[in-house]
Amino acid sequence: MWTARIYVTLKPGVLDAQGDTVRSALETLGFKGLADVRVGKFMVLTLNGLTQKEATAQVEEMCKRLLANPVIEDYRFELEEAAG
Partner 1 sequence: MRFGIVVFPGSWSHQDFYHVIVNVLQEEACYLWHKEADLHDSDCVILPGGFAHGDYLRSGAIARLSPVMRAVAAFAESGGLVLGSCNGFQVLTEAGLLPGALLANDCLHYRCRWVHLRTESRQTPFTSAMQPGQVVRMPISHGDGRYYIDQTGWKRLIDGDQIIFRYCDQTGALTNDANPNGSLDSIAGICNERRNVLGLMPHPERAAEPILGSEDGGLMFASILDAFVRSPLTTCGDRA
Site residues for partner 1, 6-25, by CB under 8 A, read 10, 13-15, 17-18, 21
DSSP state of 66: I
CB 41 within 8 A of CB 75: no
For residues 52 and 69, which CB has a smaller minimum distance to partner 1 in the complex?
A: 69
- Cross-strand partners of 77: 6
For residues 72 and 82, which CB has a smaller minimum distance to partner 1 in the complex?
A: 72
26 binds partner 1 (CB under 8 A): no
Alpha-carbon dihedral sign for residues 43, 46, 47, 53? positive
Q: Which residues bind partner 1 (CB under 8 A)?
A: 10, 13-15, 17-18, 21, 66-67, 69, 71-72
